[in-house]
Structure 1
Amino acid sequence: MNANQVTVLVRQASEGDSAAWEHLYAEYSRLLWGVARRFRLDEHQRADAVQATWLKLLENIDDIRDPACLPGWLATTVRRICSDKVRASQREKPVEVLGEWRVVHQRADDDDDTCPVRSLIRREHQAAVRLVLAELPEQQKQLLQLLHASPALSYQELSKLTGMPVGSIGPTRARILAKLRSALQAHGLVDGVCA
């Protein structure tokens, strides 16, 4: 299909012409399914992604500046939707390996880049947390990392790895978290981040 035909079909579809919609669907469904198959999604997730792409086109067809670029717009949209589905299906993201223990940073459902404001706020919060953590003494950083290791370590294992007596791990943890809470509040972050 040439650019002029696509332009005419997009204009007709935006005016509610069901035949134009059917023609666009017939022309570009294979493209959408081909892009969706490149992702590690099951058949139902791919079908949802393709359907969501058509819905986005329905919602945004009047905003398409260059109808000849519709194939690229469709491919980009389904790719983004599939990427979001892959990210949402991940349970945990390991970000640091300490010895043989994985330290878990965040859950995938906390990773919402679809809203620019939330994404910016999250990045600012992460930068503030990194800054505060960088100011901790090395032994305290190590203890926090080990306390959040997956799988969880016993206090006896923590004692062996840090050289701290078992009885001082809990109180030290409480002091570190209180210190972090105060520092994060000073950076304007809400209470509860260290709870």
Structure 2
Amino acid sequence: MSSTIFLPPLHPESLGNYLFSWDDGDVVHYQHFVRQLHHLQTLILGYTQIKGDALLDILRSTPELVNLVVDSCMVTYKSFLAGLTYNPDYEYHSILPKLESFTMYIDSEDARFYESFEEEMVGLIEVLLKMIHSRTRPLSMDDSYPGNGPARLRKVLLCHDDDSAFTTHFKLPLQASQDLCGLDFTILEDSAKEDWATEKEWFW
């Protein structure tokens, strides 16, 4: 099992705004990269521009992933979280079946570039809670769902800067707090981006 992922050469034709294009699913370089993710257990995605749907496509190639850290401008945050929500009737319900720790960073600076940012924040906490509940079960149950259900989600961190846009939308309902007893769930507000990163690693 390899612990190293080799990024393909970033030729000019694969760059968009000087960034690697994550949407080119048919490009040889992209396929080469994704094929190396099968045994990956931790993915820390530093700040980049990637749409939620494109990231979900990549994550379908990481069935062993246990820890996911996303610090990116995804534009479509709610559809990304909906895609992570476990649904036994959905074709891709097995996405990230071993996920136990999930971290997502959101930066209000994205509002300067995407008109839909404010709309994405409305109802985001409810979509996040739905995803969490779909991957969390009472502690009295054993360590696995019947059949092909996912592992129990044990830790969730949602980190954002202190912009007023978040103050209204990111309040956790009292009942939700009680329902999530046993889960390490934190909503962190911090304007110092260097404090956001796991173990002080710099993603920016």
- Which is higher, the Rg of structure 1 or of structure 2? 1
TM-score strictly above 0.5: no
- The structure in which a higher percent of residues are helix is 1
Higher strand proportion: 2
| Higher RCO (CA < 8 A, seq sep 6+) | 2
Question: Normalising to structure 2: TM-score of the pair?
Answer: 0.22
